Each structure stands twice: as C-alpha cells, then as structure tokens.
Structure 1
Amino acid sequence: MPEAAAAVQDAAPRAVPDGAQPEERGVRRGVGPVLEQFPGVARIVVLRGGGLGDLMFAMPALDALAAAYPEAEITLLGTPLHAALLAGRPGPVHRVEVLPVAPGIRPGPEDPAALAAFMDSMRARSFDLAVQVHGGGRNSNPFLLQLGAAHTVGTRTPDAAPLERTIPYVYYQHEILRALEVAGLAGAVPVSLEPQLEVLSAEEEKAAAFVAPDRDLVTLHPGATDPRRRWPASAFAALAVRAAADGCQVLVVGDDGDRELAEHITALGLAAAGPGADIGSVAGKLDIGTLAALLKASAVMIGNDSGPRHLAQAVGTPTVGIYWFGNAINAGAMGRTRHRVHMSWVSACPVCGADVTQVGWTAERCPHDDSFVAAVDPEAVYADVAELRAAPSA
C-alpha cells in the first residue's frame, strides 16, 4: 500500500541533534510513528460509528488525543447508543453528535436533506483536526473530508481517498492498537491500552435492584451481531448451572434482540439446575448505563466477542471471552490476569468449506451462519470463571 505508507513518511518527526539520547531528542514511543502535533488545535472531531464494542475500541485513542491536546474540545461522531452511554459521563469526549444515515457510515433509510444539514452544521464548527477510526476509508474518508477540518488523519485502503496523514488499513490488527496508531499520526502518545469507563452512582443504584447482595454475580451475554460468533445456548446454560451450583447469582444480559435467546438459556439452566437455582434474565430490561453498572457489580462476565464483553472490561470486571481466532486478533482482551480468551481454530466454513480467514474486500462471505465457536469446551471456560472468582481483586 505505497500511497498510504508515503503519507506517513512525508509527515516526518522533528529533526534532532546527532548523538542525542531518545529522551533528549524528544522521541515519543507509540504503536506506530508518533508525528508532530498540529499547531493551534482547539476543536477535534473523531469519526467512530458502529456498535458498543467499536466505541470501546476507540476509547484509548480518545484518551491519547485528550492528553496530547488538553485544551481542545473533542466531539465524537457516533451512534445514539454512544450518545446515551457517554452523556454526563467523565471522560475525554465533550459531546457526541449522532451520525446521519449514509453508506458505510450508519445503516438505514437515506435522507439526503438530513445528511446535507448535518454536514453544514459540522462545517460551521470549524474543526481543527478530524480523526477517522471508522474503517478502511472507502466511505469514511470522503465523509471525513466533507467536514472541512484543517487537518485530517486516519486509516486507508489503497482505493480510499487520501487524508493528510494515513496508515494502511490491514484487516488483522487489534482495533485498539489500530486506533492508537491513528492517534499517533496526530502526535498523540498512548496513555492507556484498555478502554476505561466510569460508572455513575445513579447507575449503580438502579443496578442494585437486580443484584443479590449475599452472593457473587456472574453475568452471561450470549449475543453477537454475527451469528457465527455465538457460542451455543446449551453451552451458556451449562455454565449457568455450574455457577448456580457454586452459589452464584446468574443473570443473562443483552438488548431486545437477545431477549428470546436469553430466556431460552435461562429456561434450559433452570430445568437442569432444579428448584432454587438463582438463574434469570434481564435482557431487554436495562438501559445502557444500568447495564454498565450491572457488569461492574459482577464477579465475572462471560460473553462472545460482542459489545457487553468489551463494556465489562472497560468498567473493570474480569471477563472470559469466547472467540473465533480471527476475531481474537482484532478484539481479544490483551491481559490475562483479569481476562481469559477461549478460541476456536475454525478456518473453513463448517457447511461449505469456504476459507473464512479471508474477510472484508478480500473474499465474499459465504451464506452460512453456523457457529465457528461451538467446539469451545464449557468445562474449560468454567475453570477460568472459578479461577477469576477466586483471584484477589486487582
């Protein structure tokens, strides 16, 4: 990807005296090149739509930008869920502007008038720096350029519009590190490698109504946008039975779309565990802030590669993740003291044999939705749950 690489090389770090030590030369270490900061930056806009997990992946980069430009106001262009989660919450984002429907930006019925009004409103803000951490750039880079910011940085596939400074978009890279590498293009050094989210006291009060005070809470999230990332309901139910037998309260969490699956898992668990087992579902019953507080109250959270697992990590809860190995590269927890990852090594579709390691623009997705992670062993997962419960709090 020579054009993208050249964009980084053109924006070279400051010159330094020969023979100077790194700290004397002002060399700053990042995920990739940490380039010169842009002068006079008072207003930063960051493009990161998508789901809950996508926002979590961007949080360390937002922290880095806030540290590099402490006087700047940071605006996130995100989704209604992002706005609901970040409203009134301490952190690097000062405001969230909800993205309009646009191809590759936010799905839904297109409204050209609403898109034009959004762009007019954003251009009037006169952003000094626009940061694209939304994807490869085919759709997101033209969208970002329409904002009219003085400086632009982001990722880029070879066929995407160039920005002032870019890094190559290569699919298999951890999303947190990718966003931090982009932040480095703007001169921002990493200050964190994990998303960190503060839970509000009002949210904790609401979540307390669902929590048994005298036992460990174990939360399960069985959903995922891509059905191939979902561990079978029977496996989650087996986990619920084991946790309940060990005296835990078990709650299945999720949004409205997960409600039926969560109730099915609860029914399976109760049928196997017998009377008195504390297994229930709150899927579809919690707003996003209360979910964050419930996850914080959990001793351990177990989930597929999905937003609630990433949110649990951000509020400081130990997690056990069920991952297809390709997703673990892009989205798995990095540490192992408080987080465990169980991977399946499926490289071909279980139905048609298509190579599923080729993703995005490199190959068409086969039509089958059979789980890639069905073979992950519930006994091995529960062993990690038990170990994390027994570990002293960090």
Structure 2
Amino acid sequence: MSFSQKLALSYVILIKLLRLAVINFFTTLLYKKTSNIKKILINRDGAFGDSIVALPAISIIRQNYPDAQIDLLSVNNNSVSFKDIGLSNHLIDNLYNINKNERNETLRKLKEQHYDLFIQIPQNIGIYKSIRNMLLVRFYLNIKNAFGWDYGRIKSFMRSQKQVGQIITDTRRFIRALKQHGLVGDFVYPLISQVPNNNEINNLIETRETIAFLIGGKLQPKKWPLNHWVSLAKLIGDRKKILIVGGKTEIDEAEYILERTTNTTNLCGKLEVPELRYLLEKTETAISLDTGAMHLCDTTNTRFITLFSTRDLSDKWFPGSKNATVIEKVLPCSFCLKTKCHDNICMSTILPNEVYSELLKR
C-alpha cells in the first residue's frame, strides 16, 4: 500500500470514527436499554434491492423476538418494495409502506402504538439526518429504546477504499449492527416463491434449459448496452432459451433485443416478484445488472453472473451467494457518482465475449 493510500484510508477511518462518536453520544443521551420488549418498530427505506438486502437482518430480529409485535415502516416512492416481494408469514405484523407525502400522517398513527424498541436498518444518510431522525423517534414517537444508525457512506477517496477491499456488503453490515446489540440468528431470506399464473411461462421454464437476462435498473450508468445483450444472446445460440426479465419500463429495451435474436422471449412486466423468484429458482443461469432482481436471485441457489458499474463503491451491493460471479471494470473515470453518463464506459467495456466465457465455466 502506497503512502498516499495509507493517508487516504486514515482520513476515511477518522471520518467514520468521528461520525460513530456523534451517533453513540446521541444514542447514550437519548435512549435507555429495556428488557421487556413487546412492540418493535423497524425502519428500512428504499426500493426493490434495498428491501431484499435487509431481509436477513429483519429475520434475525424476528428470531430474537418471536412473540413480539414487529411492525415495519418503509418510505418508498418506487414501484417495487416490501409490499410486493412476498414476505413469509409472521415475519412482520404490520407493514407501513408509504411514499413521502404520507409520512406525517403515518407518523401520527405510529405514535399511538407506544413501541418499546425502534431499530433503524440504515440507508446511507448523513450525520445531520441521522440525528434528526433520532430526535424524532425519541421525542415525537416517544420510543425510549432505539439503535441502528451508523456512519453512512464515506464518499471521499473511494478508489482507495475499493483497492484495499475493506468494504462489507450492506446485508453483512446490518447483521453486524444487530450482533453488537446482542441479536444473533440464522442467515435466511424469509421469502415465498409462487408458480407463475401463466401456462406459457410455466412451459418455458419446465420444458427447456433457460437462461435469464435481468436487464432492469433505474440508473442509466448501470445499464449494459442493448447491442451487448444482443451479441451475448447470439453467442449462446438456439440451444438455450433466453428469458428477458424486467419491469414495464424495460419492455421497449426487451423488444429491441427480441427483434434481433431468435432465442429470446420478452417477460418484462409479466411477473410478480414471487413468480420471478420461482422462475429464477428454475433457471439454469442468470445474467444480471446491479438491480433488485439480482438481489432476488441472490436469495436462491441459482448460478448467476452480475455486471456492475463502478460509478459508486459497488462492493456494498455485491451478492453473497457462492454461486455468484461479479464482472466489473475499474477505470480512471470510476467512482464519479454520476446519474447520467454520455458513453457509459465502465459498462460498455464489459464485452459479451467475456460474459460468455464466464457462462461456459462450470
């Protein structure tokens, strides 16, 4: 490790320690641990992937409090979240899945519940918002026992953070936070799978060896060029049936691939999340972008290859399955945090031949 890397990492560590010191100060000041826990409120905001990666932590909370009332608050303006993903029975008692303009009304309802414990499964918010939320939980919701806030994301010197490789996935980060508060348990994804309510789709799954292309994703810098998908489908050839999976917003992209290939079927917008999980369990291999469907695939035993953009510290979103392979390109322009990129080079330089070579490995 060079001197400049050591200096950069020392700065990152210092910022983390300072933020944690502030969080711990306010936690000690505001909250007291209690033993008689009957009602718990968990907060985890975000969309499809954010919901999936938090599930092992939520499961551990339930394992430790099997008889408690456990409610989940999730603020999400996106189309897919906790309400859609097929949670197992008795994981949570009440789900408050709301958008931002419903937050004030929902908080008034939650205040009436008189919770004994609040657990934050954090997003990467800054120290100011963390303190604001801690104060809100203590003095508005009147919850006297709470934990879960942490140092968030450190945007400085991301290249050095990446090179040293000390970044843990969000799933492991949440479990570590629970362990620090004495909550341990089995690592499971409490999700159900459901046979698709479509005989044509079922026939595709059951009668032919299939490969899934998971082409979804919100951010343009995380997308793989459509012509690369086309080229990969042609390399795979007609001996396999390729199922193109995504949401309704990916229908046109899937049609582009479909029109230029002979071995693809467009399933975008046709599957509920539990049905998609069933499909992924039956699929031979999946090729995916960094998307919610990739995290869903990570909950199965299916082999999959994930193509990651390096606009951000991608490690925190890496799959945990032993059946997963990650392909990414760290370039001079990586860690830009852009939401738009004119050439999408960190994705376009992942070539179809490279993905196909990985696909051929067993």
Scaled to the shorter chain, the TM-score interval is 0.7 to 0.9
Of 71, 75, 100, the match for 1:75: 71
For 1:302 and 1:243, locate their aligned partners in 2 and report how far apart those are by CA, in whole Å.
12
Match of 1:150 in 2: 144
For 1:187 and 1:11, locate their aligned partners in 2 and report how far apart those are by CA, in whole Å.
16
Match of 1:85 in 2: 84
Match of 1:47 in 2: 43
Contact 1:91 1:197 in 2 (8 A): no
* Cα pair distance change 1:316/1:268, threshold 3 Å: same
Pairing of 1:211-290 with structure 2 (within 5 A): 211=202, 212=204, 213-245=206-238, 247-270=239-262, 277=263, 279-290=264-275
**Cα RMSD over matched residues?**
2.9
For 1:206 and 1:304, locate their aligned partners in 2 and report how far apart those are by CA, in whole Å.
26
Contact 1:68 1:189 in 2 (8 A): yes
For 2:221 and 2:178, locate their aligned partners in 1 and report how far apart those are by CA, in whole Å.
32
Of 202, 209, 229, the match for 2:200: 209
Deviation at 1:191, TM superposition (A): 2.8
Contact 2:219 2:339 in 1 (8 A): no
For 2:180 and 2:41, locate their aligned partners in 1 and report how far apart those are by CA, in whole Å.
15
Contact 2:73 2:95 in 1 (8 A): yes
Contact 2:285 2:303 in 1 (8 A): yes
Unmatched tracts of structure 1, length 5 or more: 13-35, 102-110, 156-166, 271-276, 349-355, 360-364, 389-394
* Cα pair distance change 1:140/1:47, threshold 3 Å: farther
* Cα pair distance change 1:207/1:48, threshold 3 Å: farther
For 1:239 and 1:298, locate their aligned partners in 2 and report how far apart those are by CA, in whole Å.
17
Match of 1:123 in 2: 111
Match of 1:176 in 2: 171
Deviation at 1:218, TM superposition (A): 0.8
For 1:11 and 1:358, locate their aligned partners in 2 and report how far apart those are by CA, in whole Å.
33
Contact 1:207 1:294 in 2 (8 A): no
* Cα pair distance change 1:367/1:241, threshold 3 Å: closer
For 1:243 and 1:197, locate their aligned partners in 2 and report how far apart those are by CA, in whole Å.
34
Contact 2:284 2:302 in 1 (8 A): yes
* Greater shift in the superposed pair: 135-144 or 310-319: 135-144
Residue 82 of structure 1 aligns to a residue whose secondary structure is coil
Say yes or no: does 1:4 pair with 2:3.
Answer: no
2:296 maps to a residue whose letter is L
Percent of residue pairs identical: 17
Pairing of 1:343-382 with structure 2 (within 5 A): 343-348=328-333, 356-357=334-335, 359=337, 365=338, 368-371=341-344, 372-382=346-356
Deviation at 1:6, TM superposition (A): 6.0
* Cα pair distance change 1:87/1:173, threshold 3 Å: closer
Deviation at 1:190, TM superposition (A): 5.2
Match of 1:99 in 2: 98
Deviation at 1:11, TM superposition (A): 8.3
Match of 1:186 in 2: 181
For 1:259 and 1:136, locate their aligned partners in 2 and report how far apart those are by CA, in whole Å.
33
2:240 maps to a residue whose letter is C
For 1:174 and 1:54, locate their aligned partners in 2 and report how far apart those are by CA, in whole Å.
12
1:2 maps to a residue whose letter is L
For 1:313 and 1:88, locate their aligned partners in 2 and report how far apart those are by CA, in whole Å.
16
Question: Which structure has more helix as a fraction of its residues?
Answer: 2
1:150 maps to a residue whose letter is K
TM-score (norm 2): 0.78
